[in-house]
Each structure stands twice: as C-alpha cells, then as structure tokens.
Amino acid sequence: MSSIISSKHKYKYFWIILGVLSFGVDRIMATAPDWVDMFYFRGIFQGFRWIYDHTLGFLPIPVVYISLVVFVIYTARIFIKMIKNAKEGHWLSGLGEGLLGLLAFFGGSVFFFYLLWGYNYNRSNIYADLDMQEQVIDSIYLMNEIDRVTKELISTRMIVSTDSLNAISEVFIPEDLESQIRDNLEGLLESWDIPTTGRVRVRKLALKGILLRFSTAGVYVPYVFEGHIDGGLHPILWPFTMAHEMTHGYGYGDEGTCNFIGYLACVQSDNDVIRYSAIRAYWRYLMSDLRKLDKELYRQYMILLPLALKVDLNEIIEYMDRYPDIMPAVRDKMYDSYLKSHGVKDGLANYSHMIKYIKAYRERK
C-alpha cells in the first residue's frame, strides 16, 4: 500500500525537492556574481526572455489573468478533493494529501521563480556594472540637489502645461507610452553593453486598486515575464512606474537600481510628460530624505511650491486615498524580509538608493 501511495504522489515530492534545490542553488550563486552574469543573465535568462516575448508577449491581455485562473482552478481542485475525502471518512489522509499538493505547488513556484528570473538578484551591483564609486549623501549635497531638481521640475511642468489650476491628466500621456519607454530603456542599456533580448511588456491592470491597496504602484511577475501598473494609478505616475517595472523585466532585481535606470531612461526621452514623471519621482525621494532630516524645513519647502506642483501633488494624493492600504505594516515587513533574503541588504530603504546612484553616475560621466 505504501508503495502505491508513494508512486501516486511521486510528482508532488519531485516539485518539493526542486523548490528546495533551487533555493540552495540561489545561495551558492550569491557567492559568484560574475558567473551569474555570464551564464545565467546573458545566457539562460535571455533565452527565456526571447521565447516568451515572441509568443505569449503578443497576447492582447495581461497573461497574469490567465495565470490567476489556473491558480484558482488548481487550488479549488485540492480543496474539493479534501472535502470529498472528509465525507468518505478519510479526512486525515485527505488533509495530508491536500497539504502535500499545496507544498508541491509552492515548491514548483519557487523553482520557476528562480529559473525564470530570480537568480538575477545575484548579479553584480550597478556600481560594478558601470564602474562607479559608492557615494555618501550629506545634508549639503541633499539641499543643493533639492534646489536644482525643484527648478528642473517647475520648468518641465510649465513646458507640459501652463495651466496651474488643473493637474496633468491622461490626455497628456502619449498613446504609445510603453513603446517610447521601451525604446529609451533599451537604448540606454545597450549603451552599457547590457543585452535587451525580447520586448518587455508592462500592462495596466483593469482592476483598480488591486496593487495600491498594498502600497504598490506596480509589480513585475516573473512567471509571466511582464510588468504591471495599477489601473487606479494617477497618470503622472504611469511613465516612471512603467520604466521601473520594465527594468525588472530586463533582468534587474534591486529596487533602487530599477528606480535609477528607469529615471535615466525617462529623462532622456523627447516627451516632456515622460521626463516630468521621472523628475517628479526623483524629487519625491529627495524630499522624503529632507523630511527625515528636518521636518520643519520640509514643511517650508512644501509651502513655497508653485501652485501647479501643489495641484498635481494634491490630485495624486486624492487618487491614492481612494484605495487605502490593507495591513500596510504587515506588507512592509514581508517585502522588507523578502528583499533582504535576496541580498538587498537595506530592504525597502533600497528604493531611495537612486539618489546615490544618480550622484555616482553624474560624477562618473
């Protein structure tokens, strides 16, 4: 009987073992970033990238929708079997079989996460890639940079629209936004000798607030090779968020690096709305650091902002308030732990590292 049971569940143990092994391989890869870059990023990953982007990447709908349907069907089958076994008096064996099925699903998910994208976390950092020196941001640099970027933000806003009473709306967003950002991003990466196989897609999700309720504007899903932005996101945030998620798709895991590369790709655009979105994102990270440094000075800066910037900022906040966070502390703790477990030492604080990267890049150039 035991041999029959083990044979019946052999495939489930197979996926569990693969999940454990793939995690072990990830720990080993963390010690050899050059090998990861050479064999995984420039080899295996690019192959998967090309195959997907030239097949399912052409579908008119986000592939994540299809994946969710498959997930729901799979988990529903597990619970239906558990209920059926319970009714037949085999509730203990049914429970064990159900848990084994969930573990197999989890193991398979871990395996494909690393195989399709996750090992990119072990690549060398952006300082090494671009031969930059690590930077320290002191208060003098921060204040000077805020002054410079604020002026740039104001001038770009006035180029986009001289109407100070109405926020930048969707009508200002180019219809081929995704293509423009992809062209800019690929051009930037290719100038650094970074392969850009395929054509990474970033889709806007129809269900508004599904990401924003978890304090997330966008997400890259490795299983479907696509990035996504929340449908309830304010249009001003679309370009920069799209560039950030697209950078993940080209093989970068570090959040601060994706902010940095997304920013560079956007500010080099010929479209002023795309430039404005990125400059504004960078400005917000600078202002966030100022608020931590001196709350009163931060308040004074905000009071003195031109009306146009205040109108944009207030409307963005109003958009966000439509989708209040669900358990924000739990979400932050979980994602912070996830990032740290994959070599991003500063966790969520890594997002603001774009300030250091931009300074290093400017000094390098």
DSSP string, 334-363: HHHHHHHHTT-TTGGGGGGGHHHHHHHHHH
88 shares a domain with 11? yes
How many structural domains is the chain composed of? 2
**pLDDT surpassing 50 at residue 5:** no
The angle subtended at Cα 329 by Cα 324 and Cα 334, nearest 5°, is: 115
The angle subtended at Cα 241 by Cα 322 and Cα 125, nearest 5°, is: 135
**pLDDT surpassing 60 at residue 1:** no
Whole-number average pLDDT of the chain: 90
170 shares a domain with 48? no
Give, to the nearest 10 degrees, the angle between helix 354-364 and helix 139-160.
90
> What does the pLDDT read at residue 102?
85
Q: Which domain holds residue 25?
A: 2-122
Higher pLDDT: 339 or 147? It is 147
83 shares a domain with 14? yes
> What does the pLDDT read at residue 98?
74
Quick: pLDDT tens for 299-334: 999 999 999 999 999 999 999 999 988 776 666 677
Tell me the CA end-to-end span of the chain in Å, nearest whole number.
70
Quick: pLDDT tens for 53-103: 999 999 999 999 999 998 888 888 877 777 777 666 666 666 777 788 889
Query: Which of 73, 106, 122 delimits the end of a domain?
Result: 122
Q: What's the pLDDT band for 4 if we cut at 50, 70, 90?
A: very low
Q: Which of 185-194, 234-243, 289-298, 325-334 has the weakest average pLDDT? A: 325-334
163 shares a domain with 45? no
> What does the pLDDT read at residue 320?
92
160 shares a domain with 87? no
290 shares a domain with 183? yes
Query: Which of 106, 122, 138 delimits the end of a domain?
Result: 122
136 shares a domain with 12? no
> What does the pLDDT read at residue 64?
94
125-134: average pLDDT: 92
Candidates 169, 356, 186; CA nearest to 269 is: 186
115 shares a domain with 74? yes
Q: What's the pLDDT band for 343 if we cut at 50, 70, 90?
A: low
Question: Quick check: 202 and 249 in contact, CB under 8 A?
Answer: yes
Query: Which of 72, 99, 122 delimits the end of a domain?
Result: 122
- What is the phi/psi pair of residue 243, to 5°? -65, -40
Quick: pLDDT tens for 203-215: 999 999 999 998 8
> What does the pLDDT read at residue 281?
97
> What does the pLDDT read at residue 2?
45
- Three-state secondary structure string covering 214-274: HCCCEEEEHHHCEEEECCCCCHHHHHHHHHHHHHHHCCCCCHHHHHHHHHHHHHCCCCHHH
Q: What's the pLDDT band for 123 if we cut at 50, 70, 90?
A: very high
> What does the pLDDT read at residue 331?
67
344-362: average pLDDT: 80
340 shares a domain with 211? yes
- Residue 177 carries which DSSP code? H
163 shares a domain with 75? no
321 shares a domain with 281? yes
**pLDDT surpassing 70 at residue 251:** yes
Burial of residue 173 (CB within 10 Å: 0-12, 13-18, 19+) is middle
Tokens of 16: 């569990």
318 shares a domain with 187? yes
Burial of residue 228 (CB within 10 Å: 0-12, 13-18, 19+) is buried
Q: What pairing do the DSSP bridges indicate for beta strands 201-204 and 226-229?
A: parallel
Q: Which helix (H) or strand (E) holds 74?
A: helix 63-87
> What does the pLDDT read at residue 299?
95
